[in-house]
Amino acid sequence: MNTSTGVNARLVCPKEVHVNMMPPIPDRLETVVQVTAILENTTRSDFELMAPTPCDIHFWELYDGDGKRLIQTEPAEDCTQNVVFQRLPAGKSVRGDNIVRLNGRLLVSGQAYLLRYKFWGYKTEASFTARHVF
């Protein structure tokens, strides 16, 4: 929660992420994690969300159990350089569904990972455990 603004941030992701290890295994083993970021305005006043570009609304970083950053959002090549705004009414919430694409070769089966996420600039996080599927 950002106490200075009264906006709560939450991130919902699966508890387990399955990595398909069936041969042949490509160099980049794409593993998809569906997430939902939620901001809740807990105040009695409307709040204006702002991001420098549409590509800055969602940003994520993945950390292993030792706190080492493994990967983060890849910069978009075709992002329009326009400031974007969204109104968050008093007592309401806004959600953003996103797909986080990971290289499954970086994930060790049984290991816990931390997904740190920014949604409209508000920080939140969630953890998951990787599971290799053969």
At 1 the pLDDT is 45
Higher pLDDT, 125 or 134: 125
| Spatial separation of the C-alpha atoms in residues 75 and 45, rounded to whole Å | 34
Q: How far apart are CA 126 and CA 3, in angstroms?
A: 20
Question: Is the pTM above the cut of 0.85?
Answer: yes
Please give the residue that has the higher pLDDT: either 75 or 14: 14
Domain boundaries, the chain: 7-133
User: pLDDT band for position 4 (50/70/90)?
Assistant: low
- Taking residues 65-71, report their average pLDDT: 96
Q: Say if residue 52's pLDDT is above 70.
A: yes
Distance CA 89, CA 126 (A): 25
State whether residue 106 is helix, strand or coil: helix
CATH homologous superfamily of 7-133 equals: Immunoglobulins (2.60.40.10)
Distance between CA 70 and CA 66 in Å, rounded?
A: 11
